Structure 1
Amino acid sequence: MQFGIFSVGDVGTDPNTGRTPSEHERLKAMVALAEKAEEIGLDVFATGEHHNPPFVPSSPTTLLGHIAARTERIILSTATTLITTNDPVKIAEDFSVLQHLADGRVDLMMGRGNTAPVYPWFGQDIRQGIPLAVENYALLHRLWREEVVDWEGRFRTPLRGFTATPRPLDGVPPFVWHGSIRSPEIAEQAAYYGDGFFANHIFWPKEHFVRLVGLYRERYAHYGHGTPEQAIVGLGGQFFMRRNSQDAIREYRPYFDNTALYGGAPMEEFMEGTPLTVGSPQEVIDKTLTFRETFGDYQRQLFIVDGSAVPLKVALEQLDMFGEEVLPVLRKEFASGRPADVPAGPTHAERVARRDRERAGQ
């Protein structure tokens, strides 16, 4: 089981001080969070991709490449790579370079993006979001696995005898997750390729995501990749902690009320219907453990700690508390009773070893 954090890189005004960090400060804060994540023993740091204010991470591979040089162990991922508006050739090459520089500590999460104006900025139409996601990923999948690619589709110029460079490290492409909050077509796509499916259920009720994860597991087995229980699932989460729940609620409420991301719902109502936990370390433990009861054994759990203008100092305090009081318990509890045939979270070393075993058995 892999635990980590992800950041969407939003820039907001602290409701307590009235101060808004600069874009420079926000990017540096994301780097600091990644370094702290490794320090406390987390497995993954992931960044979103956005091309509109108030977000700063428009170039995830640049950011992750910098973090790779400052870390040694943590897996570097995206919380969204826009498969709809990025050229698959550029994705293939950018992430192969990053994979080499990070010694394999790289994977990525494909997403469509839901900001309509972004599509025409990159020459695309949001009404074609699903066809773009399907076609572009089909090409990306081939670019990483075939030395020479001939290809023709609807949304970009044809390729004739094209080789993406550099080739993936050790001949094994970065692991791919497909992220979705509402589209069964994306769950189907993840299942077809035997990739991971990430249900970022931080803003919608869990019942909606139970259906998506269930569909993915069923179709993963249908395509012959393993049993439904062996499908590779990731989940989102969000917490704010203090030693007692009253302090946590009092301190976090201004941040919650200050952001439009929550749709105007009261904080207690939002906590009841989504994974958001505002409370003590034990409450974070208890809420997170319910995720396995709801979705079955899964492979990756990512949390947001820096959204809604929570300042860096406070986010770092959250991570220190998480590393000391929450993470050891979650590791123990999620390992307890986990079936032996349920795979662990994907790593480059494990995937290379599996490839070599399969070759030896042929």
Structure 2
Amino acid sequence: MQFGIFSVGDITPDPTTGRAPTEHERLLAMVAIAKKAEEVGLDVYAAGEHHNPPFVNSSPTTLLAYIAAQTERIILSTATTLITTNDPVKIAEDFALLQHLAGGRVDLTLGRGNTGPVYPWFGKDIRQGINLAIENYALLHRLWREDVVDWKGRFRTPLQGFTSTPRPLDDVPPFVWHGSIRSPEIAEQAAYYGDGFFANHIFWPASHTKQMVELYRSRYEHHGHGRADQAIVGLGGQVFLAKNSQDAVRAFRPYFDSAPVYGHGPSLEDFTSQTPLTVGSPQEVIDKTLGFRNYVGDYQRQLFLIDHAGLPLQTVLDQLDILGEEVVPVLRREFAVNRPEHVPDAPTHAARVADGLTSADAPAPAVAAH
């Protein structure tokens, strides 16, 4: 099982000082956090994509390439890549190039994005979000698996005899996770192709996540990729750690109360009781995270959000020390207990090369959304 962190790249004033980092400082902080994640033994660093304030990371592949040059082991991913407003041709080329530079340490999470104004900035209509996600991925899937592509769809100009360059490293495309908060169509899309499904998870009760993952698993089996419990599932989560729960709550409360994403809503106590957010001791984080398996089954990837809401860089680095030293080693051991042998490990480039996964059996969707 893989453990890691993801960043949305927000620039938020620290409520205890009133100071916000500059864009330059925030980007360099994200690099430092990724390098620290590798240092403490985590498996994955993922960066979000946004094109509007208060977010700073508009080009994840540029950021991840810079991080790849300064790391050796950690898998570099996205959370998310906007399949709706990016041209699938550019996604195919950018991530294949990054894959070569990073020696295969690359995968990506595709998502629609939930910021309405972004769509017209890139000439798209948010009302076509699902349709764009379906059609654009159908093309992206082919571009990585066919040397020459002829294609015609609704949302971009046709392609004739087109070859995306560079070709994927070792002729094995980057592994794709389809990220979703609440869209069953995306769970179906992930299942159809036999790709991974990443449940955002961070704002929703267990019952909602359970329902989405069960849908994906059942459809994965329906499409003939394996048993339902062999489907590839990833989860998000949020943590803030201290030696004891009282110190954690005291330190995190001003950040929670002021954060644009959940400030001025439910109390910290209500939010932690109703969602995966865990603010407490290492043992409390371990116990709650292990509980995720009770409603999603054995899964492959767990990513935590820890650098948001104006938290200072040093605080985030301290969080990583605790995660790497006290939390993740226990989670690795405990998640391995009673894990069935037929449940696959998280995909890696090396494993997929060894398995000869140079092409996919599934064709493009037979029915495009209209």
- TM category (shorter chain) comes to over 0.9
- Which amino acid in 2 is paired with 1:335? A
Q: Please show how residues 61-210 of structure 1 align to structure 2 within 5 Å.
A: 61-210=61-210
C-alpha offsets along residues 199-241 of structure 1, whole Å, 9 cap, x if unaligned?
A: 0110111211111100000000000000000000000011101
- Which amino acid in 1 is paired with 2:189? Q
SS in 2 for 1:251: helix
Shift of 1:18: 1.1
| Aligned twin of 1:301 | 302
Q: CA RMSD in A?
A: 1.2
TM normalised by structure 1 equals 0.98
Shift of 1:293: 1.1
SS in 1 for 2:67: helix
C-alpha offsets along residues 119-173 of structure 1, whole Å, 9 cap, x if unaligned?
A: 0000000000000000000000000000000000000000000000000000000
SS in 2 for 1:310: coil
Deviation beyond 3 Å, 4+ runs, structure 1? 356-359
| Aligned twin of 1:48 | 48
SS in 2 for 1:197: strand
Q: Does residue 1:315 correspond to 2:316, yes or no?
A: yes
CA distance in 1 between partners of 2:89 and 2:358 (Å)? 30
CA distance in 1 between partners of 2:105 and 2:185 (Å)? 28
- Which amino acid in 2 is paired with 1:354? D
Q: Does residue 1:57 correspond to 2:57, yes or no?
A: yes
SS in 2 for 1:355: coil
| Aligned twin of 2:2 | 2
CA distance in 2 between partners of 1:358 and 1:128 (Å)? 29
Shift of 1:260: 2.3
CA distance in 2 between partners of 1:212 and 1:166 (Å)? 35
Structure 1 residues 357 and 102 mapped into 2: Cα distance closer, same or farther (>3 Å)? closer
SS in 1 for 2:176: strand
Q: Verify the 8 A CA contact 2:145 2:359 in the aligned structure 1.
A: no
Shift of 1:358: 10
Shift of 1:45: 0.2
SS in 2 for 1:45: strand
| Aligned twin of 1:232 | 232
Which 5+ residue runs of structure 2 have no aligned equivalent?
Answer: 361-370
- Identity within the alignment, %: 74
Which 5+ residue runs of structure 1 have no aligned equivalent?
Answer: none
| Aligned twin of 1:267 | 268
- Which amino acid in 2 is paired with 1:169? L
CA distance in 1 between partners of 2:323 and 2:144 (Å)? 37
Shift of 1:116: 0.4
Structure 1 residues 56 and 356 mapped into 2: Cα distance closer, same or farther (>3 Å)? closer
- Which amino acid in 1 is paired with 2:202? I
| Aligned twin of 2:365 | none
CA distance in 2 between partners of 1:311 and 1:358 (Å)? 44
Q: Verify the 8 A CA contact 2:7 2:46 in the aligned structure 1.
A: yes
CA distance in 2 between partners of 1:210 and 1:327 (Å)? 23
TM normalised by structure 2 equals 0.96
CA distance in 2 between partners of 1:84 and 1:157 (Å)? 15
CA distance in 2 between partners of 1:159 and 1:151 (Å)? 5
Q: Does residue 1:30 correspond to 2:35, yes or no?
A: no
SS in 1 for 2:298: coil
SS in 1 for 2:144: helix
C-alpha offsets along residues 19-64 of structure 1, whole Å, 9 cap, x if unaligned?
A: 1100000000000010000000000000000000000010000000
Q: Does residue 1:343 correspond to 2:339, yes or no?
A: no
CA distance in 2 between partners of 1:9 and 1:356 (Å)? 33
Shift of 1:357: 11
Aligned pairs, how many?
359
CA distance in 1 between partners of 2:6 and 2:247 (Å)? 24
Whose helix fraction is larger, Structure 1's or Structure 2's? 1
CA distance in 2 between partners of 1:306 and 1:342 (Å)? 31
